[in-house]
Amino acid sequence: MKDVVIVGGGPAGLSAAIYTARANQETLVLDKGAGTTRKVDWMENFYGYPNGISGEEIVALGEEHASKFGAEIRREEVVRITDEDDETYLIETVDDTYETRGVILAMGASYESPAVADIDEYEGRGVSYCVECDGYFYRDEPVAVVGGENYAAKEALMLLDYTDDVRILTNGGPLDADERLTERLERNGVPVVTEPVDRVTGEDAVDGVVLESGDVIEVSGVFVALGAAGGTDLAEALGIPTEGPYLQTNPDQSTTLDRVYAAGDVTGGNRQVAVSIGEGADAAINLLEEFRGTEYVDYRKTTDAGEDNR
């Protein structure tokens, strides 16, 4: 059992890890290693580096700092988070499953819509971005998952709990999933269609997808699972409110769930490294307060104008 699992190893996640690990909380950072900060060649507006610094260096320094206080950093892709009971959350990766008391979501903003004509028009009418949320509504119905990586494979396997008629549509690319997931798909007879998808069809709701060749695959539901599971995907499965690609948080970075916080680009706002670092620290500090059983207090609002603040 971990005290804190942080999903995302960018500036927000590593900043949070420094605080939780330094407070003697067993901290695990799970990061796929492909965050946007790493891809920034050079930035000249980062505090303390007047001559500039690369995104890769910022992340490397953050990892060194968090590790110094005992945080463990693993290169694992998180595909699902569930609440096991009132005290425990389960973090599922491609490789393993972890139990934790607290969670900080800091994986950046991610909300990908596939290049398929008309698909957005059917959202809520047969098109879904969350198997955990909507799989139940397609019991014993034919469904498809659009995507070609680990996340799509995991969603397809989860759909087998509701229906045996599942296929993956990679929309023109190969299936690039972990070998173990690929083997599980094969064992369960989940077909993989690599031909590009032209459009979604249906009158009031989805009744099929049309391939580039003109062939039609009859389905009642289409689940979008592009790339890795982003903040929106993980949040929706947990029941955390979202707005577009962003998670809704309170002023203390908390979400609607006990001991689950979010920080950085996944919450929207000014998507800057400096902001992400501050939000990560704020999320960690307030999660630690929740562990201690105290409530967040915004001291700026606790006194009336003119009241003695001493």
Domain-embedded: residue 295: yes
Q: Are strands 216-217 and 208-211 parallel, antiparallel or unpaired?
A: antiparallel
What burial class does residue 125 get, using C-beta atoms within 10 Å of its C-beta: 0-12 exposed, 13-18 middle, 19+ buried?
Answer: middle
pLDDT in single tens digits along all 310 residues of the chain: 999 999 999 999 999 999 999 999 999 999 987 666 766 767 878 889 998 888 889 999 999 999 999 999 999 989 889 888 889 999 999 889 999 999 999 987 655 667 788 888 888 789 987 787 688 899 999 999 999 888 899 899 999 999 999 999 999 999 999 899 999 999 999 999 999 999 999 988 999 999 999 999 999 999 988 765 567 778 888 888 887 778 889 999 999 999 999 999 888 777 788 999 999 999 999 999 999 986 544 544 444 444 433 3
Same domain, 102 and 248: yes
CA distance linking residue 46 with residue 11, whole number of Å: 12
Same domain, 91 and 234: yes
- Rg of the chain over Cα atoms, rounded to whole angstroms, equals 21
Question: What range defines the domain where residue 12 resides?
Answer: 2-110+229-299
SS3 content of the chain, % helix, strand, coil (to 5): 30, 25, 45
3-class DSSP state of 67: helix
- Cα 75 from chain centroid (whole Å): 15
Domain-embedded: residue 304: no
Domain-embedded: residue 306: no
C-alpha distances (whole Å) from 270 to each of 44, 57, 230, 304 are: 17, 21, 18, 30
Domain-embedded: residue 39: yes
Boundary-marking domain end, from 165, 197, 224? 224
CA distance linking residue 204 with residue 189, whole number of Å: 30
> Which residue bears the tokens 């989805």?
206
pTM of the entire structure? 0.69
Same domain, 102 and 237: yes
C-alpha distances (whole Å) from 97 to each of 38, 75, 187 are: 26, 14, 22
Return the bridge partners of 145, or none: 168, 223
Contact of 266 with 109, CB cutoff 8 Å: yes
Q: Enumerate long-range contacts of 46-51, CB under 8 Å, 24 or more apart.
A: 46/273, 46/274, 47/274
Same domain, 29 and 99: yes
Contact of 257 with 240, CB cutoff 8 Å: yes
Domain of 100, CATH number, reads 3.50.50.60
| Number of structural domains in the chain | 2
Same domain, 57 and 40: yes
Domain-embedded: residue 166: yes
Measured in residues, the chain has a length of: 310
Same domain, 100 and 148: no
Boundary-marking domain end, from 200, 224, 248? 224
First CA to last CA distance, the chain? 42
